[in-house]
Structure 1
Amino acid sequence: MAYWWLIAVGVVGGYWVVSLVLLRFPNILHKRKQVKFPCRHVSHRGGAGERLENTMSAFRHAVDDCRTEVLELDCQLTLDGQVVVAHDDLLDRICGVSKSVSDYRYDELPEILSSLQLTFYHKMEVHPSENESVQDRKIPLLRDVFTAFPGVPINLDVKTESTELLEKVETMIKEFDREAITPWGNFRDSVTKNCYAKNPNIPLFSSIRRVVLILLWFYTGLLPFIPIKESFFEILMPSTATKIFDLSERRNHLTWQHRALVWIIDLLLMRPVLFRHLQRRGIKVLVWVLNDDEDYERAFRLGADGIMTDFPTKLREYLDKNQSLLSKDE
């Protein structure tokens, strides 16, 4: 009986030794991915806390004034097959109408409202800047964004599971020679799988399901053995969810059980050892959506490669002040 116990202990022990070695040296098994651009400063929806989200004005401000390294934006398809930049399918939040983007031809789309509620911040409304025109409140075409910012990396969220949308976006990415600088995907795994199947040469970011799987593989020791198709591991910092909730009018509805669950998820997900392993495989770790210095500090201290923010000016000021603390190679 003891003989079989020794075999079992040897097998399990050997598995964990190999797993730990490969955790530290993953390139023994896996070819390192090559992301060809820095991504510390990512402007979420173009910087939705400083300009109307997903507008040309927001993108210009992020690139020209804040020196953002990556624009994050979302795309949908109109009734006449135009690829437009918009986060929500239903236009009630951004345009005040209870219809979908796909219900309109592009030239019939309503204007964006003059003020929008910021999604990841407490009770803040964003208004156009003084020098914005009515044209800046028009939902832009993805083609116009690619034309205006030819060398700027764009993190592209393909919002719907549409074969036509996927084909048009992929064609446009190749037309503008952006395959190396336009990571794409969606938090729904089905859309992300379709993106990868359509063109595996375009960098991919992780769906929610893949984040959960990678976490499961990490804690069972399997992660070092498993190939990863994604080039970007994009995650929410769970502690920010509690912070946003606490600042809202529903604060008292967050029970201690909810807080405990968020704390546990945060503890499991925000692991420097996990981040370092992914980075050794060439996978960039991006944390979203962070909007104050305290969260910037924590994300970079834990080893994140970059941050998505609604406030590109604030993040730029933080990075400029903390260059000596952020000397990690891109």
Structure 2
Amino acid sequence: MSSFFYFVLPALGGYTLTSLYLLRNPHILHRRKRTAFFCTHISHRGGCGERIEGTMEAFTHAVEQGTHMLELDCHLTRDGHVVVSHDENLLRQTGHDINISSLNLQDLPLYKEKLEVTFYAGEFLLSFSHFCLRCHGGVFQVCVCVCVCMCVTGHYSSGADRTIALLEDVFKKFPHIPVSIEIKEYNCQLIRKVSDLVQQYNREEVTVWASVDGSIMEECRRANGSMPYSFSVSHGVLLLLLFYSGLLPFVPLGQSVLQFYLPRIFNRTFIPEKRILRNRLVVSLLEKVTMRKSLFKHLAARGIQVHLFVCNKDDDIKAAFDVGATGVMSDYPTVLSRYLCRNTAQD
């Protein structure tokens, strides 16, 4: 037992101190990544809180407001066109219960005239009163009954442009604006066509592969390994394990961007579909585990950008930057621009 304390504890202490030192000084072991872009202002779905998501009007408006990066999702039509759409099924966006992959480009329906902003549902308690008559001992009494119910307010976007955009048109109009493309389905043809368009328009340095699915990300990397790419969910979990085990400073990382939720928006401006994420304790634990300033500072020092989303209020934007985000993704490019303008002026 004494030999354990004699050998193991000093070794463990030395490892801990070395890990902490290298966490703060990653340049000793790792060369800083030099990406062709550094984005503080990112427009989620093209700034879908101010214009209809994924339309050329939305992208144009976001760029006019000074966005540094456009975030979007892609799908493939039956006749092989890469279109910008968050969903494969168009029911939410158009009212038509049909998949993009089953339609030719010319048959795609228009977006709804007003489209709800997914990450700005808003939630509040509404109380109201009503009068009722009660009979007590043969005497009628007038009572005021107060009821409390949970209401969800919707924030909607609208615009003149209701056409589902082509990815190629985005590349043509904004040749120098960085774009983060999330691939949601394991579709090799879609991935290859996206890669071909990126190469055709000479955008390999300013277009980011993004996917929550590790297997999809691997296929994206096989299709085009020259493009920067973000962390998938599985690699994000691995990143946290490396961080908490102290191994992170010793491990090389290929990713250029970490994109992650700001947990404090859950059940306030964003109502998750998964029931487990509606639990306060779960969200609180998620925030404590993931929102680590020392982790984000380490990644930033290695040239890996940290984008937190979806921040649609000033308080959330401030919280994201305070915890160490290098960039913020918002549905409201005007709100984010005003915040950055005010705070840059103060600095």
Task: Provide the TM-score with structure 2 as the length reference.
Answer: 0.86
Deviations 1:216-259 (A, max 9, x none): 1111111111111110011101111032368x9x9xxx999921
Which residue is equivalent to 1:91? 90
Which residue is equivalent to 1:75? 74
Q: 2-side partners of 1:235 and 1:245: how far apart?
A: 14
Question: Are the counterparts in 2 of residues 242 and 262 from structure 1 also a CA contact under 8 Å?
Answer: no
Which residue is equivalent to 2:301? 280
Q: 1-side partners of 2:89 and 2:66: how far apart?
A: 31
Deviations 1:33-87 (A, max 9, x none): 11222311100001110000000000010012x1111111111011111100000
Amino acid at match of 1:80: D
Amino acid at match of 1:323: T
Question: Are the counterparts in 1 of residues 266 and 277 from structure 2 also a CA contact under 8 Å?
Answer: no
| SS of residue in 1 equivalent to 2:180 | strand
Q: 1-side partners of 2:33 and 2:225: how far apart?
A: 12
Which residue is equivalent to 1:2? 2
User: Which is richer in helix?
Assistant: 1
| SS of residue in 1 equivalent to 2:266 | helix
Q: 2-side partners of 1:170 and 1:245: how far apart?
A: 32
Q: 2-side partners of 1:137 and 1:241: how far apart?
A: 29
Which residue is equivalent to 1:124? 154
Structure of greater Rg: 2
Question: Are the counterparts in 2 of residues 115 and 125 from structure 1 also a CA contact under 8 Å?
Answer: no
Query: Which residues in structure 2 correspond to 1:188-267 (within 5 Å)?
Result: 188-244=213-269, 258-267=279-288
Kindly state the Cα deviation for residue 178 of structure 1 after the two structures are TM-superposed. 0.6
236-245 vs 69-78, greater mean Cα deviation: 236-245
Question: Are the counterparts in 2 of residues 185 and 191 from structure 1 also a CA contact under 8 Å?
Answer: no
Amino acid at match of 1:6: Y
267-276 vs 11-20, greater mean Cα deviation: 11-20
Q: 2-side partners of 1:255 and 1:37: how far apart?
A: 36
4+ aligned runs moved over 4 Å, structure 1: 254-257
Kindly state the Cα deviation for residue 28 of structure 1 after the two structures are TM-superposed. 2.1
Distance 1:259 1:27, change over 3 A: same
Task: Provide the TM-score with structure 1 as the length reference.
Answer: 0.91
Which residue is equivalent to 2:137? none
Provide the alpha-carbon RMSD of the alignment: 2.1
Which residue is equivalent to 2:33? 33
Deviations 1:191-211 (A, max 9, x none): 112222322221101112222
Query: Which residues in structure 2 correspond to 1:106-185 (within 5 Å)?
Result: 106-122=105-121, 123-129=153-159, 132=160, 136-185=161-210
Question: Are the counterparts in 2 of residues 90 and 100 from structure 1 also a CA contact under 8 Å?
Answer: yes
Deviations 1:151-203 (A, max 9, x none): 11111112211111111111111111111111112111111122223222211
Q: 2-side partners of 1:262 and 1:173: how far apart?
A: 37
Q: 2-side partners of 1:256 and 1:78: how far apart?
A: 33
Gaps of 5+ in 1: none
Identity %: 40
